[in-house]
Amino acid sequence: MGSLGITDAELSALADEALALAKRYWTGLDARPTYPASSAEETKRHFARPWTDEGRGREVLSDFQAMADHARPSSARFFGYVVGSNEPIGVLGEWLAAVLNQNVTSWRSAPAATTVERTVVGWLADAVGCPGFTGSLCGGGSSANLMALAMAREAKFPANETGAQPCVVYASEQACNYP
């Protein structure tokens, strides 16, 4: 029995149920509206709940349909944001990666995952005409932008034993108006 008190049989049944939910979602994706017909108040009514010390167990899967109905589906019909492709094969790959629960901070922490990441970065460098270049993959655009800013700062004003050196960052006025 795992640390959360779930048997192998219960885990298998939950995995089957979660996969069935995903498959139903994928088969109906082309018919889904690009934007959900939902207001902030309606969404809050569905999902804002008080904290409880008791878990909800299998019942938590019952929220998936409501979540899908209040989400902006990632599909070929929506280009509003840069999001994952939602291709089922990619989702399965992400699921398997999550099963391994690797922290790809260094080769010592995750030899296989780090080697795969280095290989993919090499492929990308080759694809854009920069063979031999190295780098890191990021989990999303925000972390990639933060990493790019940190790398640019480090290239021009490297940190020392007392921390980062003072420098100037230029940004639009929207950067200062974040709510």
Q: What is the pLDDT of residues 60-110, one digit of tens each?
A: 888 888 888 888 887 777 766 666 667 788 888 888 888 887 788 788 888
pLDDT of residue 84: 62
Same domain flag for 8 and 33? yes
pLDDT of residue 179: 54
Side chain identity, residue 116: V
- What's CA 149's distance to the chain center, in Å? 20
Is 171 inside a domain boundary? Answer: no
Counting the structural domains of the chain, the total is 2
- From the list 96, 97, 114, the residue with the least C-alpha distance to 105 is 114
Q: What is the mean pLDDT of the chain?
A: 83
Query: In sequence order, which residues have a C-beta less than 8 Å from that of residue 21 and are 6 or more positions away?
Result: 61, 64, 65
- pLDDT for 3 beyond 70: no
For residues 46 and 124, which has the higher predicted lDDT (pLDDT)?
A: 124
Same domain flag for 76 and 125? no
Distance from the first to the final alpha carbon of the chain: 45
Same domain flag for 117 and 80? no
Domain that holds residue 137: 106-156
